[in-house]
């Protein structure tokens, strides 16, 4: 968990040493603010934009920063939260199909919804590259299932839960960030916890295998996928595995349905694929390229939830903005 680490005297130092000191003071918080904005917004692209906006606002207001009133970390979180609240008012929530519509037939027609704003994955590389020293960020609270559950909360409930339960801000610090009272924060937090419990948000992270074990299982899945071995894929899944594919509305549950759909995929799109491993939201995954004339074209990005019993969820993304966030090449030559 990240601790709040209140610092003293930073404002005085800025006044004495100027802009260079101010820049050094606020820069260490950039990575954790990216994770925070992602949890709030459910979009890596929007989170990056909001962190940039946060630092721009902080720079413009640097003359007004007062260390006697709050730490630089609390101050930056207040700016970031205001930016996120404004964005949420304009854009609303970002669900996954399983939290938006009823389950469907795995062999039914695929229905796309390009108008909906879907939850997007967060590349682990963004956090790693932004913080080579390795900030202590609780990656279990970046899991896609947790991020999807947050989308069911109001903006203020979301902020209270993340600040108090994820980042371990005190009630008074959270109130300062949210611009409200401790009573209001505690009330929002209680309602948020209830809704998250109803959604079973933290259950998938309980007793999960190590990161190496998760990667090994997904590597075996990748080998079966490249062989178009549907039975091999099925053996790696839990009985109640869930697959969803934004911006396609269709989603379904069960090993049998999963196998039927993969048979349809290989029958329609062919059996010649190239896969590249990725990690997102602290979870293993891969980018899938399908065979076309002259090479292979990018088809999907797939992120897996792995439990001790097997792969329990496959979130499949097919959006240009997601591909760009991960820096994926549009094609691979022969």
User: What is the per-residue pLDDT for 135?
Assistant: 56
In a domain, 66, yes or no: yes
98 shares its domain with 228: no
Q: What does the pLDDT look like over 240-284, one tens digit per residue?
A: 999 999 999 999 999 999 999 999 999 999 999 999 999 999 999
What sign does the CA torsion over 269, 271, 276, 279 have? positive
Look at residue 252 and give its three-state secondary structure: strand
136 shares its domain with 166: yes
Query: In terms of DSSP bridges, do strands 310-317 and 237-245 run parallel, antiparallel, or are they unpaired?
Result: parallel
195 shares its domain with 226: no
Look at residue 84 and give its three-state secondary structure: helix
User: What is the per-residue pLDDT for 207?
Assistant: 64
Where residue 304 sits, what CATH number does that domain have?
3.10.450.50
Please identify, among 186, 204, 222, the residue that sits at the C-terminal boundary of a domain: 204
User: What is the per-residue pLDDT for 324?
Assistant: 97
Instruction: Report the C-alpha gap between 286 and 207 in whole angstroms.
Output: 23
Q: What does the pLDDT look like over 197-207, one tens digit per residue?
A: 887 665 555 56
The number of distinct structural domains making up the chain is 2
List the domain range (segments joined by +) for residue 24. 10-204
Please identify, among 181, 204, 227, the residue that sits at the C-terminal boundary of a domain: 204
68 shares its domain with 146: yes
For residues 194-220, give the mean pLDDT.
82
User: Which residues, in sequence order, are bridge partners of residue 310?
Assistant: 307
Cis (ω within 30 of 0) for the bond into 247?
yes
User: What is the per-residue pLDDT for 22?
Assistant: 87
Instruction: Report the C-alpha gap between 178 and 152 in whole angstroms.
Output: 19
In a domain, 2, yes or no: no
216 shares its domain with 290: yes
pLDDT above 70: residue 83? yes
In a domain, 176, yes or no: yes
257 shares its domain with 314: yes
User: What is the per-residue pLDDT for 7?
Assistant: 42
Tell me which DSSP letter residue 9 carries: S
Q: What is this structure's pTM?
A: 0.89
Please identify, among 204, 237, 269, the residue that sits at the C-terminal boundary of a domain: 204
pLDDT above 90: residue 232? yes
237 shares its domain with 276: yes
């Amino acid at each position: 968990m990240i601790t709040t680490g209140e610092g003293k005297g930073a404002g005085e130092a800025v006044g004495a040493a100027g802009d260079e000191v101010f820049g050094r003071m606020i820069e260490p918080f950039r990575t954790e603010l990216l994770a925070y904005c992602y949890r709030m917004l459910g979009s890596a692209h929007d989170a990056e934009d909001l962190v940039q906006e946060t630092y721009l606002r902080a720079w413009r207001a640097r003359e007004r920063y007062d260390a006697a009133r709050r730490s630089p970390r609390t101050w930056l979180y207040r700016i970031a939260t205001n930016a996120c609240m404004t964005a949420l008012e304009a854009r609303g929530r970002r669900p996954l199909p399983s939290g938006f519509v009823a389950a469907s037939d795995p062999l039914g027609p695929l229905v796309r919804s390009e108008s909906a704003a879907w939850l997007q994955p967060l590349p682990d590389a963004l956090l790693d590259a932004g913080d080579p020293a390795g900030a202590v960020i609780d990656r279990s609270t970046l899991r896609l299932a947790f991020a999807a559950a947050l989308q069911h909360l109001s903006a203020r409930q979301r902020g209270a839960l993340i600040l108090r339960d994820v980042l371990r801000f005190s009630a008074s610090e959270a109130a300062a960030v949210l611009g409200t009272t401790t009573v209001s924060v505690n009330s929002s937090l209680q309602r948020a916890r209830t809704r998250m419990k109803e959604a079973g948000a933290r259950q998938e992270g309980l007793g999960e295998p190590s990161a190496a074990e998760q990667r090994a299982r997904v590597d075996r899945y990748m080998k079966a996928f490249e062989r178009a071995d549907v039975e091999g894929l099925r053996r790696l899944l839990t009985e109640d595995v869930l697959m969803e594919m934004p911006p396609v509305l269709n989603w379904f549950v069960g090993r049998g349905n999963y196998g039927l759909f993969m048979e349809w995929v290989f029958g329609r799109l062919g059996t010649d694929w190239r896969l590249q491993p990725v990690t997102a939201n602290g979870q293993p995954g891969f980018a899938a390229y399908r065979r076309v004339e002259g090479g292979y074209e990018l088809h999907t990005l797939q992120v897996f939830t792995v439990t001790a019993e097997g792969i329990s969820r496959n979130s499949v993304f097919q959006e240009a903005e997601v591909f760009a966030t991960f820096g994926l090449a549009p094609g691979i030559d022969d």
